[in-house]
Amino acid sequence: MTEKSLRVLIIGSGGREHALLKACKASPLVAAVAVAPGNGGMEQEAICYPLNVTDVHAIVALAKRLDANFVIVGPEAPLSVGAVDALVAEGIPVYGPNKAGALLEASKTFTKDFLMRHAIPTAWGKKFTSSEEAVEFLAAQKFPIVIKASGLAAGKGVIIAEDYDAACSAVYDMLDEKCFGNAGAEILIEEFMEGEEASIMLMVSEDKYVMLPASQDHKRVGDGDTGPNTGGMGAYAPAPVVTPEIEKAVVETIVEPTLKGLLADGIRYRGTLYVGIMITAEGPKVVEFNARFGDPECQVLLPLLKTDPVQLMYDCATGTLDPSKVEFRDGFNIIVVLAAQGYPSTPRKGDIISFPSKLPAGTAILHSGTEREDSGDIVTAGGRVLGVVAHGATLATAAQNAYALIEKIRFEGMHFRRDIGARQLKRDGV
Ligand SMILES: Nc1ncnc2c1ncn2[C@@H]1O[C@H](COP(=O)(O)OP(=O)(O)O)[C@@H](O)[C@H]1O
Ligand SMILES: [Mg+2]
């Protein structure tokens, strides 16, 4: 591939897509980059086109109108409705799995069957569509136990039930009350795994892959992992909790059998495979797969690549990936998410954000939920508003750099966690 040969279209509107946009802007391969639908921050750096990301026809039409020769799909929703299949049918290379591959995220029962069939370590699980049968099964189980809506439920479809009664009400809510709509029409009852969680993202091209450094995110809204779940309040990478021994076990018992299993099942996977693991006393086990980069994990991982991430994504899309050539930077990256008043329940919109005039080296402010007003002001427009990313030789300096920058950002009702990376910092003795 030659310099300035790619006309890229990025699909999505969050912090992850802003990080992808920055990678495209820094890549010598990219001649032009557009985003759809984008957000207020991305509008300052690229042309953003309105788009309903689950409208496959609209995605294809836009890619053709822009004469895009590479599309990067950020979120899961367009993947799960077959956006990639439709673009590929038009001859456009795409980074992101096809509809069959995206089932690894879109159906937890499909994934449990896949994992068990290929003997990949995970919690045992059993699927149900009848609440009567599920409740009968629960009567003979130990607690806590995990109840999961099978489909896409925006990170809200998993209940850890401490006892029989809580488990039964989760079952009734999902199967009978349809609290997650169709996403909960089938549920999974699954063994509770004890351990520490980490995420490992792979850039996959069928049988070949690049494994990115392990990361840890922080799902609860409050310090010390308290309060309700969110889309993610911060992350850091590399995560030393994934030791070289654990990483080796992940490769041998999870990654390689998964990629072999996909091919054996006729699924040609090209894109990010996000492996959520629980580090248990028996070794790492799969919690879930996602079919795209995590948000906010993507924002700390891409800047750790010394190799051009756009080159890697394009090579995955076109089947030309050479994992032996990939290089990483030293040090740690951290991201702290700045959330709007009321997030995660009812985030307030329209608060004006003030930014520092200059960014220190090794830092970035990525936009998630922002809009640009006609006046030029950037205002809050979503729950997770901004992501503050910083690099450091150690995790402690990365954290210091991020929190120092946050001091210079302001909007009404802004809240964030002050303990991103704290578990690891404690282990490091900081
Ligand atoms: N079997 C399990 N044992 C213990 N905790 C679990 C288990 N499954 C899920 N969890 C917890 O619930 C969270 C959400 O579950 P996950 O399967 O990742 O669904 P999603 O991200 O789609 O909501 C996980 O990050 C983990 O903290
Ligand atoms: Mg998850």
Among protein residues, the one with the nearest Cα to ligand 1's atom 18 is 288
Q: What's the CA-to-centroid distance between 287 and ligand 1, angstroms?
A: 6
CA distances from 275 to 31, 155, 272, 279 (A): 32, 15, 9, 12
The answer on 144 and 84 residing in a single domain is: no
Q: What's the CA-to-centroid distance between 173 and ligand 1, angstroms?
A: 18
Q: Quick one: pLDDT at residue 61? A: 98
Query: Following DSSP, what letter does each residue of 260-300 receive, concatenated?
Result: HHHHHTT---EEEEEEEEEEETTEEEEEEEESS--TTHHHH
- CA of 156, nearest ligand number: 1
What atom of ligand 1 comes closest to residue 195's alpha carbon? 4
Among protein residues, the one with the nearest Cα to ligand 1's atom 26 is 287
- Pairing relation of β-strands 125-128 and 47-48? unpaired
Residue 326 φ/ψ, nearest 5 degrees:
-85, 135
The percentage of residues in the chain with a pLDDT greater than 90, rounded to a whole number, is 98
Domain end point (choices 76, 98, 120): 98
Top mutation candidate among 218, 274, 287 for ligand 1, by most atoms within 8 Å of CB: 287
Among protein residues, the one with the nearest Cα to ligand 1's atom 17 is 288
| Kind and range of the H or E run holding 189 | strand 187-191
Q: What's the CA-to-centroid distance between 108 and ligand 1, angstroms?
A: 11
What atom of ligand 1 comes closest to residue 125's alpha carbon? 1
Asked if residue 159 is part of any domain, the answer here is yes
Q: What's the CA-to-centroid distance between 288 and ligand 1, angstroms?
A: 7
- Summarised one tens digit per residue, pLDDT across range 10-28 is 999 999 999 999 999 999 9
Domain end point (choices 52, 81, 98): 98
Q: Quick one: pLDDT at residue 307? A: 98
Asked if residue 336 is part of any domain, the answer here is no
- Geometric angle at alpha carbon 291, from 290 and 294, rounded to 5°: 60
Q: What's the CA-to-centroid distance between 152 and ligand 1, angstroms?
A: 13
Top mutation candidate among 110, 158, 190, 196 for ligand 1, by most atoms within 8 Å of CB: 158
Q: Quick one: pLDDT at residue 156? A: 86
Q: What's the CA-to-centroid distance between 217 and ligand 2, angstroms?
A: 10
Domain end point (choices 79, 98, 117): 98
What atom of ligand 1 comes closest to residue 157's alpha carbon? 23
What is the distance between the alpha carbons of residues 323 and 255, in angstroms, rounded to a whole number? 14
What atom of ligand 1 comes closest to residue 191's alpha carbon? 1
Q: Quick one: pLDDT at residue 1? A: 79
Q: What's the CA-to-centroid distance between 276 and ligand 2, angstroms?
A: 7
The answer on 34 and 90 residing in a single domain is: yes
The answer on 76 and 17 residing in a single domain is: yes
Asked if residue 360 is part of any domain, the answer here is no
* pTM of the complete model beyond 0.95: yes
Q: Which domain holds residue 176?
A: 130-185
Residue 350 DSSP label: -
Within 6 A (CB) of ligand 1 lie: 123, 146, 155, 157-158, 160, 190-193, 197, 276, 287-288
Asked if residue 293 is part of any domain, the answer here is no
CB–CB of 363/401 below 8 Å? yes
- Summarised one tens digit per residue, pLDDT across range 378-427 is 999 999 999 999 999 999 999 999 999 999 999 999 999 999 999 999 99
Q: Quick one: pLDDT at residue 154? A: 86
Q: What's the CA-to-centroid distance between 276 and ligand 1, angstroms?
A: 9
Give the residues of the chain that fall short of pLDDT 50: none
Q: Quick one: pLDDT at residue 25? A: 98
Q: What is the CATH number of the domain that holds 140?
A: 3.30.1490.20
Q: What is the CATH number of the domain that holds 22?
A: 3.40.50.20
Asked if residue 240 is part of any domain, the answer here is no
What is the distance between the alpha carbons of residues 11 and 21, in angstroms, rounded to a whole number? 10
CB–CB of 351/341 below 8 Å? yes
The answer on 136 and 94 residing in a single domain is: no
Among protein residues, the one with the nearest Cα to ligand 1's atom 9 is 287
Among protein residues, the one with the nearest Cα to ligand 1's atom 22 is 155
Reading the block at residue 234, the tokens are 């911060």
Asked if residue 138 is part of any domain, the answer here is yes
Reading the block at residue 63, the tokens are 């890619």
Asked if residue 388 is part of any domain, the answer here is no
What atom of ligand 1 comes closest to residue 156's alpha carbon? 23
The answer on 87 and 14 residing in a single domain is: yes
Number of folded domains in the chain?
2
Asked if residue 228 is part of any domain, the answer here is no
